[in-house]
Structure 1
């Protein structure tokens, strides 16, 4: 039986720091959905601090825990470092917890990590207790690597199921924690002129420095022309922002995808938001395939996605509209070339610039954007 949509976990306060992760706290957390369970022992495994902290825990239970077949290892994720609770990171990271509370139960066939507990408090802090993927012998993907075309088709099926759930649905406006990535409520011209927000990477000095690096040498002049690309990005948000939206993963690079022992892909490390289906699909597929494989398979993969979108209750999107949107959405990944090496390794920036750059050339991205 699929779990029910519930925010019952909010009754248990999220962790403030690592010292709060005790058998008592874990008992309270697990009892939200597993009555009578008691954690009798808790041992910390690997700890990673970044924009969020993740902690692998090894657990001992009373008899109720064993009767309910709770696993001996889990992962705990939350804002357990100063970096995670300062600036904008706090409000952004709680959306994953809300996803597991409000959305994941509605998608029982989607391949995601099982969530045992989620709690949100104060609009800035959250904690999730989730499945240890290594216990199911899963392999974690790595950004900048490649997948086979066969795997890319399976990835498209996962996105189709997710996107169909709330495609152009009222929940996109009524769900209190969902941010909108379309920029439809901002002054795009003002933002582009001032080079703020999504246009922050267009500042003249930074643009010149990044586009003159060797990984951009293959690009034609128009794709490294600052004013042209700024207008292209404005056009993308204008053209796509007026079209129907859906719930998207938000950051589906290969580093946020896992693979079961049989090769089936799954999604984790969620940044859920309201966006266009192509935000997810183009970014994931173009960023994961070898360039020659992408050239051969991108249209069949897109058709496969559109077919499965309908199978899961989504709309019929005419091919010409879908292909035009796919070509426009390439600019999202193409902007990878402007990443700072403090954000991403330079070798990863190079790989993604090649993949999205050749996609932009092959499919006339600028033409699709009316430039």
Structure 2
């Protein structure tokens, strides 16, 4: 809907006149007569659950966007456009369980977008919390969803707009090395070895991983597969938050997911079996996974990706950052990922 302005505030997003136009694909364009706010969840992006009343019915919905943010956070606008494009262009063709999208509004010139979805909670679903510890069986179920995504190389081939975000992250100066070292020397790096906490090694590891990943079969990759981006329904788990959607190797998703959702001692015990489960699922969906030993080597290198993401993170609750840096850093340590990457 290029003619419809993307809301920049919560008040604009819940305006009945604006929603009348935004919800036209759902309502046929009849006026929205009332809007009841159910819940506002504000992290980096804002998710607002609301009920829209219009002639002929009501709808329980959730709108996601960068609302009431400062100029620095508004620079993340392109990621909201990417997420809207996922729901518009890819989700209808995937077997991955995602919220039902009823509309997107995008401004590509001053990049910003919002997504309006059916309210998963009103439908009986539940969103996992970021620090929710999974069982091995729960991790296997969410790995099945990642396999459904990763296997669709046909969709990736037809989607040149899906970029190699790992390469962009590896090149970017998101956090200067001295500041990153200071952060890793603080509470987030507590308990990790000096080598794992070495900021220069981490940055070099990310560059080396990105270079190796470029030469692997490229797949659709979620890119941020921690527990906070999983929801549960009676039919099984699903995936949300597509702002780091990218093309890359399957291990970026799998190594990140296993290390992030499982307590360290469970990951140590279960990860090889979970990797084998993923490879079997991927093969069963028609994919051609590498042989088990090659896959194990790729998996052991890949934790550097998730560890880097959380090491540079600043605008999230420190308690969450510390747990993820600890879990992912422990994975980098036990797999000697830096050495495998030639460092």
1:74 is the counterpart of 2:61? yes
* SS at structure 2 position matched to 1:58: strand
The change in CA–CA distance for 1:60 and 1:103 in structure 2 (over 3 A counts) is same
* SS at structure 2 position matched to 1:143: coil
1:183 is the counterpart of 2:167? yes
1: CA distance, partners of 2:157 / 2:129: 35
- Checking the alignment, whether the CA contact within 8 Å between 2:134 and 2:262 is kept in structure 1 is yes
Q: Which residue of 2 aligns with 1:326?
A: 299
What do residues 272-315 of structure 1 show as CA deviations (whole Å, max 9, x unaligned)? 22232222221122111022221222112112112222333332
Out of 80-89 and 246-255, give the one that drifted further. 80-89
**CA positional deviation for 1:86:** 6.1
2: CA distance, partners of 1:152 / 1:368: 25
Residue number among 105, 113, 126 corresponding to 2:113 in the alignment:
126
Using the size of structure 2 for normalisation, the TM-score is 0.87
2: CA distance, partners of 1:120 / 1:352: 32
User: How much is the aligned-residue C-alpha RMSD, in angstroms?
Assistant: 2.8
Q: Which residue of 2 aligns with 1:240?
A: 213
Aligned residue pairs: how many? 340
1:346 is the counterpart of 2:318? yes
Q: Map 1:121-200 onto structure 2 (within 5 A).
A: 121-123=107-109, 124-166=111-153, 169-173=156-160, 175=161, 178-183=162-167, 197=173, 200=175
The change in CA–CA distance for 1:87 and 1:31 in structure 2 (over 3 A counts) is closer
- Checking the alignment, whether the CA contact within 8 Å between 1:57 and 1:74 is kept in structure 2 is yes
* SS at structure 2 position matched to 1:14: coil
1: CA distance, partners of 2:222 / 2:71: 20
* SS at structure 2 position matched to 1:270: coil
**CA positional deviation for 1:21:** 3.4
Residue number among 189, 202, 222 corresponding to 2:177 in the alignment:
202
2: CA distance, partners of 1:290 / 1:210: 22
Q: Which residue of 2 aligns with 1:114?
A: 100
What do residues 196-248 of structure 1 show as CA deviations (whole Å, max 9, x unaligned)? 525x3522x541x3343366454334323444444323221221122122222
Q: Which runs of 5+ in 2 are unaligned?
A: none
2: CA distance, partners of 1:29 / 1:239: 43
2: CA distance, partners of 1:86 / 1:211: 23
Q: Which residue of 2 aligns with 1:68?
A: none
- Checking the alignment, whether the CA contact within 8 Å between 1:165 and 1:313 is kept in structure 2 is no
The change in CA–CA distance for 1:334 and 1:51 in structure 2 (over 3 A counts) is closer
**CA positional deviation for 1:339:** 4.0
Q: Which runs of 5+ in 1 are unaligned?
A: 1-8, 66-70
2: CA distance, partners of 1:137 / 1:168: 30
What do residues 303-342 of structure 1 show as CA deviations (whole Å, max 9, x unaligned)? 21122223333323222222111111111223367346x4
**CA positional deviation for 1:74:** 0.8
The change in CA–CA distance for 1:116 and 1:36 in structure 2 (over 3 A counts) is same
1: CA distance, partners of 2:187 / 2:54: 56
1:14 is the counterpart of 2:6? yes
Structure number with greater Rg is 1
2: CA distance, partners of 1:61 / 1:168: 36
* SS at structure 2 position matched to 1:136: coil
- Checking the alignment, whether the CA contact within 8 Å between 1:181 and 1:273 is kept in structure 2 is yes
**CA positional deviation for 1:84:** 6.9
2: CA distance, partners of 1:29 / 1:237: 39
**CA positional deviation for 1:159:** 0.2
Q: Which residue of 1 aligns with 2:255?
A: 282
2: CA distance, partners of 1:220 / 1:61: 58
Q: Which residue of 2 aligns with 1:306?
A: 279
Out of 265-274 and 119-128, give the one that drifted further. 119-128
